[in-house]
Amino acid sequence: MSSADFLIIGTIAVYLIAMVLIGVYFGRKGSGENSHEFSLGGRKLGPLVTAMSAEASDMSSYLLMGLPGLAYLCGVAEVGWTAIGLAVGTYLNWLIVAKRIRRYSANLGAITVPDFFSRRYRDEKHVLSCIAAIVILVFFIPYTASGFKAVGTLFNSLFNVDYHVAMIIGAVVIIGYTVLGGFLAVSTTDLIQSIFMSIALVVIVFWGYLGRTTRAFLDRPGGVLASAGLGLVAFYGLNEICGRLLGLVLEGQVNLNDEAIVGRMVDAPRTTILIVVVLAPVVEETLFRGYVFGNLREVHRGLAYLVSCLLFALLHVWQFAAARGDLTYLLLMVQYLVPGAVMAWTYERSGSLWGSVLLHGVVNGLAVVRVL
């Protein structure tokens, strides 16, 4: 092996040792004092760590190894529908199931899902808990095995390390910090891993699509900033007109954007500001303006505006309709058609996605200031 390979292996070894030390740290902090602390960390994990940990556990080896392999084998269309299904399913799980089961399990004192079913339906014979445990074993044993297999495959393909040896080392490390530190150790290591994965994915996207749009911004920064400024004026002007017209049709309408921000600010203000002002503009503009609008514009400009605006509006409204069981909320999609059109125009006029990202971030930032 070359010196570069030794350096990479040394870095990975330090990383694995750090994961085990995290388990030791939380073990000494009392994660093993009782089953409640060990299994749930005393229910004191914050929303950011919870979300990052859940998605790192759910999407780690599949996202970085399985999904690219599926794309290579079956084509991008297959991966696209898989990604859409996973995104929708994950979001519905957090929207409909997560909060309810969190509160209900706390009231019941349930620690695991089988325990929750048993207590929830007063199953004194524990039939439901046994069925739930069997389902978990049947589906999670292959899932867990696939994670260990990913470790073996990675080391075998990169460094020609024996597949089984690499898999066993990975299993020892994972089981080690889990047994030593419990849920808090697992969540913390997942958080660290999710940060690494997120950075890797962002770098890949950045040097691809975002790299081109960044170069376009650097070529004419004044023009991009001017387009964003004009877009801001158009946004508030057209939004005011649209709001007044909508008020004539829908009595007592609410501003869904402000309502969503207020709801999240109560639970996690700093995390909400980061998501609303930085992450949401980058992700949404890349998806709706960069991908949807940019590709459809090559087919038909009007169709690009129509489809991108409708999808953008639907994204922000459908969860309210689903959560409250009221389809009339879909009429409030009108609130997002103007912002979608203005941001698409800003992107088109500036020639860089950063123009619409900047506009989107400023609009969301002003919305945060308004609701504080």
Cα gap 145→51, rounded to integer Å: 23
- pLDDT tens digits, 108-165: 888 888 888 888 888 888 888 899 889 988 988 888 888 788 888 878 877 778 888 8
pLDDT of residue 160: 79
Statement: residue 1 has pLDDT above 70: no
pLDDT of residue 360: 92
Q: Classify residue 109: in a domain, yes or no.
A: no
Domain shared by 153 and 60, yes or no: yes
pLDDT of residue 199: 75
Residue located via tokens 């004044």: 222
Q: How many CB atoms lie within 10 A of CB 71?
A: 16
Residue 306 vs residue 269, higher pLDDT: 306
Statement: residue 253 has pLDDT above 70: no
Q: How many CB atoms lie within 10 A of CB 108?
A: 13
Q: Classify residue 204: in a domain, yes or no.
A: no
Statement: residue 259 has pLDDT above 70: no
Domain shared by 29 and 169, yes or no: yes
CB 220, CB 351: distance < 8 Å: yes
Q: Classify residue 214: in a domain, yes or no.
A: no
- pLDDT tens digits, 89-115: 888 888 788 888 888 888 888 888 888
Between the ranges 98-102, 257-261, 331-335, where is the mean pLDDT highest?
98-102
Q: Classify residue 102: in a domain, yes or no.
A: no
Q: Which of 179, 195, 211 is the last residue of a domain?
A: 195
Cα gap 181→311, rounded to integer Å: 43
Residue 131 vs residue 206, higher pLDDT: 131
Average pLDDT over the chain reads 82
Q: Considering only the C-alpha atoms of the chain, give the largest distance between any 2 of them, rounded to a whole number of Å.
A: 73
The domain of 259 spans 220-371
Domain shared by 228 and 269, yes or no: yes
Statement: residue 346 has pLDDT above 90: yes
Domain shared by 294 and 156, yes or no: no
Domain shared by 161 and 224, yes or no: no
Work out the burial of residue 330: count CB atoms within 10 Å of its CB; fewer than 13 is exposed, 13-18 middle, 19 or more buried.
Answer: middle
Domain shared by 252 and 144, yes or no: no
- Rounded average pLDDT over 29-35: 77
Cα gap 14→21, rounded to integer Å: 10
Q: Classify residue 284: in a domain, yes or no.
A: yes
Q: Classify residue 212: in a domain, yes or no.
A: no
Say which DSSP state 33 is in: S
Domain count, the chain: 2
Statement: residue 359 has pLDDT above 90: yes
> What pLDDT band is residue 247 in, cutting at 50, 70 and 90?
low
Residue 245 vs residue 104, higher pLDDT: 104
pLDDT of residue 62: 73
CB 260, CB 336: distance < 8 Å: no
Residue 176 vs residue 268, higher pLDDT: 176
pLDDT of residue 249: 60
CB 285, CB 347: distance < 8 Å: yes
Q: Classify residue 103: in a domain, yes or no.
A: no
